[in-house]
Amino acid sequence: MARTIEQIKKDMTDAWMGDEYIRAKYELLPTDTFEVKFPKAITENRLFFVIAYALHIYERIFNTKSDALTAYVDAMRPHTREWYIKMMKQYQHGDVFNESLGGYEAIDESKQIVKYCSLSTNTSGVLEYKVAQDDGSGNPEVIPQNIISSIQSYIERVKDAGVRCRIFSNPPDKYKCRLDILYDPTVLNVNGSKVSDPNSFPVLDAIRDYFISFPFDGVFSNTGITDAIQLVPGVVIPQILESWAKKELTGANWEQIISTYHPRSGYMTFNENDIDIIYHL
């Protein structure tokens, strides 16, 4: 950004006033300032203003050319994975995309509904997006198909020529498991509730928090959720006996998780009735 005329003038006059020769020639005192010692009508003040004005015009021209050059370089640079994700999150639902500008005329973050996004390339070379919106509580939520169609049209306009893209937004994959927990009876009851608060079930809360903090399109692991449960006060030894996941698709079957699982939708959830916990001493 170009400096203002006042900023340029002050930079020059501060340096000028600090010069020993100038201070001696004009018999300047340590407390003297340029504007007080040389009012606007004085020749020195006018001279510095003219020079500052010229430098201001030069900086504005230079910045304009620099911005244009940067925009040109950005346009010529091959688009990266990060660029495609950035463009997806810039989609504004209901607004008209200006192709001549390469964006929207006005940025409105309230219309940027794609809050979660990941990108991968399938075996056919097609870029596959996994996307989700925010449910209002900071958690991923499926984007309706009619909106996905609009997003697909938007991506077709911004993507590089010849690049194929597919967009998915699916309900969360389901999770269930069987747990064996050795517990401390001074902290937990035999049903998993707190001794100090029978309405609180901290192991279930730990599992819920694990999925809330789960990175979008991350990889679930039995070890990771076991570590989260291990941190619950009153849990001595947690062990996952079995765990399963299911894609939220018609006719999908539960598949056992041996070690890790990559959710198709990019995120996961569970029903409390699907968490079978055996507490014992």
pLDDT of residue 69: 66
Q: Are residues 244 and 275 in the same domain?
A: yes
Same domain, 183 and 127: no
Domain total in the chain: 3
pLDDT tens digit sequence for 176-227: 999 999 999 999 999 999 999 999 999 999 999 999 999 999 999 999 999 9
Q: Are residues 87 and 65 in the same domain?
A: no
Statement to judge: residues 208 and 149 lie in one domain: no
* Cα–Cα distance measured from residue 208 to residue 212, given in angstroms and rounded to the nearest whole number: 6
pLDDT above 60: residue 130: yes
Q: Which residues contact 249 (CB under 8 A, 6 or more apart)?
A: 170, 264
Q: Which range has the worst mean pLDDT, 132-146, 239-253, 265-279? A: 239-253
Whether residues 192 and 160 fall in one domain: no
Rounded Cα distance, 110 and 107, in Å: 9
> 């279930």: which residue's tokens?
204
Task: Give the Cα separation of 192 and 200 in Å (integer).
Answer: 8
**3-state SS class at 140:** strand
As a whole number of angstroms, the distance between CA 199 and CA 184 comes to 17
Neighbours of 249 (CB within 10 A): 12
Among 51, 76, 101, the domain boundary falls at 76
Q: What is the pLDDT of residues 25-51, one digit of tens each?
A: 888 888 888 888 888 888 888 898 889
Candidates 84, 250, 96; CA nearest to 167 is 84
Q: Which of 109, 141, 168 is the last residue of a domain?
A: 168
State the pTM of this model: 0.68
Q: Do 268 and 177 belong to one domain? A: yes
User: Does one domain contain both 70 and 101?
Assistant: no
Which tokens in the block code for residue 278?
Answer: 């055996």
Alpha carbons 281 and 275: distance in angstroms, whole number? 19
| DSSP element (H, E) containing 258 | none
Q: How many CB atoms lie within 10 A of CB 216?
A: 16
| Selected residue with higher pLDDT from 67 and 19 | 19
Domain that holds residue 225: 173-280
